[in-house]
Structure 1
Amino acid sequence: MTADFVQTDRSGKTLTGKLTLKRPGKIRFQYQDGVPILIVGDGKALTFIDYSVKQVSRWPIGNSPLGVLLDPSKDLTRFARIVDTSDPRIVMAEARDPRHPEYGAITLAFAREPGAPAGLRLQGWVALDAQNNRTSVRLSNQRFNVPVSDGAFAWRDPRPMGPRH
């Protein structure tokens, strides 16, 4: 899947960009020009790259609220619940791992749409980290079943003498 996104943080600051998702476990948040940040999931870990300070941080996909989207080994029925909405066209699912509250929580929003995979179009999500900081992501221009090269999940390591990924 590819989509445009608008990300809003707890202070109301918004960033835009392009989301690329390939199951299982691969995701890329390519932010707008001028934002020196890249987030890439390679199937095992999420990597946060900040080119402005030449810093790279990695953590297991399962240790992130995004794990519900990316980790094929996650059994959503164990830690997700459907959230009541007043609109029958919208399905919302909240997921959190009760054994690991430090991973935060995510509420996924789907629109019922016959042409989307499983009849549900991912509209976005709201993630809460362990400190209750809220980040929302809204998707638009979603395209499903488009060819996505594994090269889309490569990134340049900004650290001196850093390995290439």
Structure 2
Amino acid sequence: MRGAGAGSRNRHSAPVAADGPRGDVAGAVQDMSLIRQFNDLTASRATETGLWQLCVAAAAAAFVGTTALPAKAEPAPAAKPSTRALQLSAAEPKQRAPQAPQQQPVARLTTPPEPVIPDPRRNVPASIFTTFDAAQKAEAAKVSAYLSSLQTLVGQFVQVGPDGSKLTGDFYIMKPGKVRFEYDEPSPVSMIADGQSVVVRDRKLATQDVYPLSQTPLRYLLSDRIDLLRDTNVVSITSDDLYSNIIIEEKNAIIGTSRLLLMFGAKDGQLKQWTVTDPQGYDTTVAVYNLDTTKRPDPSMFKIDYTNYQTPPG
């Protein structure tokens, strides 16, 4: 979930033909024009991270990062400053998955938490023959039920980049497929997903990069229903007194292999943070806090205008 700093977001997105972005890897490999564009991107290290290190702004920002190449990048007219007064209304009652842990009231934190930075020396084997015992399968089922039970989620995040720099902000989720990450000033970046695409906007540069939501790790957090062991390539499930950790591996024929580490509280079962590791081994960590599942964000805040890059009303 990179995307806020000048050195952490993709500023070298490749243009596409007028008929729109290509959707499959095989077609992209066969298209020599796209290969030349990708080689240019590789030289600038843009594709080494992509949205996989935004997975974040991905907070799920955030939250934010990806292995996907941007579908479109265009200059924009000078944009007006973002409006942070985002209206929220009480969420309608909803049914939770029967297996989901009951949500407990959590006192609001007045100071951001300190993200847990993974050991850079860790080495997770990527075996296609990975098997899990009954306890690990039960843990994966519990996390899957928790993620599936979330329909709206509002909170704050702290993002730590590979260089140790920290950024903060607010995030808003409405499932399926919608999320918005707003970085605190002086960062000019915001990230919006509307259910189909993800855009990363830079108000200072007046640019907007577009990515397919289906090719970003955000889909795991934004899916209406998910079974981690069935729908993802889980390579590790571990637990201790503080956290339950699940590592998901993403393989891309062009970009390489990336990983997503999800961490949940051992006691309350809530999402605490995630870490995206790009194909070069660089980590971007996003910790979330002050989570609220009772607020419903204004749907207009997830609307993407592909001709006007100003922040939508909210």
Q: TM-score, normalised by structure 2?
A: 0.45
Distance 2:294 2:251 in 1: 33
Q: Which residue of 2 aligns with 1:139?
A: 288
Q: Structure 1 residues 26, 113: closer, same or farther in 2, change over 3 A? A: farther
Paired with 1:56 and 1:6, the residues of 2 have a C-alpha distance of: 23
Structure 1: 5+ residue stretches without partners:
115-119
Query: How far off its partner does 1:136 sit?
Result: 0.4
Which of 105-114 and 51-60 deviates more?
105-114
Say whether residues 1:57 and 2:209 are aligned partners. Answer: yes
CA distance in 1, matches of 2:274, 2:218: 9
Distance across 1 between alignment mates of 2:174 and 2:295: 9
Q: Which has the higher contact order (CA 8 A, sep 6+)?
A: 2
Relative to structure 1, the CA distance from residue 130 to residue 55 in structure 2 (aligned partners, 3 Å threshold; closer, same or farther) is farther
Aligned to 1:79: 233
2:178–2:302 CA contact under 8 A, matched in 1? yes
Which residue number in structure 1 is paired with residue 31 of structure 2?
none
Structure 1 residues 11 and 163: CA distance shift in structure 2, 3 A: closer
- In terms of fraction of residues, the more strand-rich structure is 1
| Alignment map for 1:1-165 (pairs within 5 Å) | 1-72=153-224, 75-77=227-229, 78-87=232-241, 89-98=242-251, 102=256, 104-113=258-267, 120-154=269-303, 162=308
In structure 1, C-alpha distance between the alignment counterparts of 2:226 and 2:215, rounded to whole Å: 11
Q: How many residues are aligned here?
A: 156
Are residues 105 and 126 of structure 1, via their aligned partners in 2, closer, same or farther at CA, if it must alter by over 3 Å?
same
Q: Residue type matched to 2:218 in 1?
A: L
Question: Using the alignment, how far apart are the partners of 2:212 and 2:257 within structure 1?
Answer: 11
| Aligned partners of 1:107 and 1:127 also within 8 Å | yes
Q: 1:54 to 1:38 in 2, by over 3 A?
A: same
Q: Is the 8 A contact 1:65 1:104 kept in 2?
A: no
Distance 1:64 1:4, change over 3 A: same
Instruction: Please tell me whether the aligned partners of residues 65 and 105 of structure 1 are also in contact (alpha carbons under 8 angstroms).
Output: no
Structure 1 stretches of 4+ with a deviation exceeding 3 A read: 71-75, 98-103, 154-157, 161-165
Q: Which has more helix, going by share of residues?
A: 2
Q: Displacement, 1:95?
A: 1.2
Paired with 1:104 and 1:150, the residues of 2 have a C-alpha distance of: 31
Change (3 A) 1:38 1:85: same
Once the two structures are superposed, residues 84-119 of structure 1 have per-residue CA deviations (whole angstroms, 9 ceiling, x without a partner) of: 1332x52111112345664722111111455xxxxx
TM-score if structure 1 supplies the norm length? Answer: 0.80
Structure 1 distance, partners of 2:169, 2:293, is: 17
CA RMSD in angstroms comes to 2.6
Q: Give the unaligned 5+ runs of structure 2.
A: 1-152
